[in-house]
Amino acid sequence: MTTDKRYVMTMDTTKCVGCQACVFACKSENNVPEGYARDWIVETVQGQFPNLSAEIRSERCHHCSNPPCVYACPTGASFIGEGGIVMVNHDKCTGCKACIAACPYDARFIHPDGYADKCTFCAHRVARGDQPACVTVCPTESLTFGDLFEPDAKVSKLLASRKFKVMHEDAGTEPNLFFLI
Amino acid sequence: MEPGLVEVIHGRHNPMIDGAHGMHVWGWEVPVYLFIGGMVAGATILLALYELRFKEKPTSLSAQLVPWLLLPLMGIGLLALLVDLEYPTHVYRFFLAFQPASPMSWGGWLVLTVNAVWVAMGLGSLSATTQDWVLARSGPVAGVLRWAFDMGEAYRKPILWTALAFGVGVGIYTGLLLGTLVARPPWNTAILPPLFLTSGISSGAALMLLMPLSDKEQHTFVRWDAAAMAIELVLIVVMVISFVTGSAADQAAGHVFLGGHHMPAFWAIVVGGGLIVPLLLAGFEIAKNRPLTRLSPVLVLIGGFTLRWIIVVAGQEASFASLAMAH
């Protein structure tokens, strides 16, 4: 789907301290049920003691430009919305879980009410000009959200100037969650 | 200790996604459905081929009734799928949409319409004697049934070709459904659709070989079953070779069949018990030209079911995410 915007998020792994503010902001903003998470923290430690390096990442749906979840969905419940945000129409969802099996990031889950659920980049907030909840609460400003088609947007400048990586590039999903390294 | 990743602390613990053995969104319901779907597809293909090949209806009553048996069998499979849905009251949503990129969408429409194909096929399958027996007991609907039987006879050839196409469609789509999911390396192979198709054909043959058949039917289905099993065996070997010689994702998938904890069941029950032993028995039966035992079809059915079970379970265990952590 071609859109006139391309919403992306950058996650600065050199700034994140793993405080989980993003996780709790998301839970609060989106009424994420107890025991479930739309975003989460992953900490990895690499190397051999005492030469260790750690990386802390705040992860969520990658809102792929080539989203296997959308292709797998038999009812059209999963779709590409405004600015490329991958969304789920709860009313159309049968809970068949094809989208969950299709996601290389395991970013989706079944909401206790029976439908597939996941991060929406807080599309309801974005629609009224606000930032996603996780971005607004990040105390180290490691999360940045914006329109990559806008050259002056902070995300565009970050991705033009910083080294970054995307997860599971081999899966060919063209993810829009970029990890600054 | 080798340099490299030493620890991952994952903050996500979503139910069904992050279990001790990885993701587990599809339980027993999905392999049960895949097995039944494959078996009924295989039986449809074989019955259509039989009549197209010999230009005569099956003579045994059981073979004539098989299209009617496929309706409730598929019903059981679809019931399993319905149980698997997390939002079962929304099942009608499958039929308010057609998503060309989604094999499950194709499948939804296929398994709905194939029922009409079986009815059309079943009407023409019945011998004149059986038709008369039914008509004599159908009271006020006898006229409609007579017309339906006549239609079934008049359009027999297009119905059989349609049944063949639907059988192949149903047999292939289940493999395509899993095969197109890049996120699960053990599923993500183009071999899976033809593998499930051939396994379905041998399971469909096994189903019919458990029934009292005419000598000609028995003779034919044993041979076609053997051909399907031989092709399936080749496909399995090719699949395992392509996995173990492939990319990191493929190699992780290969580990399911060589070295992983599913290896014993796969080679013993699916390949040994479900393919090699029945092939040897079929060879013996063909050489001696007489039916030997019902052991062979039972082994084939157990092997066919175990194949679906292992593939469904192993695919969910081997996610792309866990693969990245391992490397």
Digit-coded pLDDT (tens) for B135-184: 999 889 999 999 999 999 999 999 999 999 999 999 999 899 999 999 99
| B4 pLDDT higher than 80 | no
Above 70 in pLDDT, residue B291? no
Q: Does B250 touch chain A (CB under 8 A)?
A: no
The arithmetic mean of pLDDT across residues A56-63, rounded, is 97
Q: Which of B259, B257, B304 is nearest to B278 (CA)?
A: B304
Fold for domain A7-180?
Alpha-Beta Plaits (3.30.70)
Listed by start position, the domains of chain A span 7-180
> What gap in Å lies between CA B297 and CA B208, rounded to an integer?
9
Question: Residue B3: what pLDDT?
Answer: 59
pLDDT value, residue B9:
86
Residues of chain B with pLDDT > 90, as a percent, come to 82
Residue B309, both tokens: 């079970």
Q: Out of A20, A76, A95, whose CB is closest to B97? A: A76
What band does A93 get if pLDDT is binned at 50, 70 and 90? very high
Is there a contact between B101 and A71 if contact means CB atoms under 8 Å apart?
A: yes
**B181 to chain A, closest Cα gap in Å:** 5
Q: What is the mean pLDDT of residues B44-59?
A: 95
Q: Structurally, how many domains does chain B consist of?
A: 1
CA–CA min distance B325, chain A (Å): 9
H helices of A1-153, where? Answer: 21-30, 68-72, 98-102, 123-127, 133-137
Q: What is the mean pLDDT of residues A152-178?
A: 95
Range of the domain at B155: 3-325
Which chain B residues are within 8 Å of A95, Cβ to Cβ? Answer: 85-88, 90
Tell me the nearest-neighbour CA distance from A153 into chain B, angstroms: 30
Q: Tell me: the pLDDT tens digits for B174-230? A: 899 999 999 999 999 999 999 999 999 999 999 999 999 999 999 999 999 999 999
Q: Is a pLDDT exceeding 90 seen at residue B248?
A: no
- From B176, which residue of chain A is nearest by alpha-carbon distance? A72
Element (H, E) at B75: helix B61-84
Cβ of A40 within 8 Å of Cβ of B11? The answer is: yes
pLDDT digits (tens, 9 = 90+) for A109-139: 999 999 999 999 999 999 999 999 999 999 9
Kindly report the pTM of this predicted structure.
0.94
Q: Do B321 and A74 touch (CB under 8 A)?
A: no
What is the chain B residue with the closest CA to A43?
A: B9
Instruction: Provide mean pLDDT across the span A64-76.
Output: 97
The per-residue pLDDT of chain B, averaged, comes to 92
B1 pLDDT more than 50: no
> Please, which pLDDT band fits residue B6 given cuts at 50, 70 and 90?
confident
Chain A residues touching residue B93 (CB < 8 angstroms): 75, 77, 92-94
Cβ contact A106–B87 (<8 Å): no
- CB A146 within 8 Å of CB A154: yes
Of B201, B191, B227, B174, the C-alpha closest to B41 is B201
Q: State the CATH number of the domain containing residue B111.
A: 1.20.1630.10
**Chain A: nearest CA to B73, how far in angstroms?**
21
User: According to the model, what pLDDT value does residue B179 have?
Assistant: 93
Q: Which residue of A has its CA nearest to B19?
A: A106
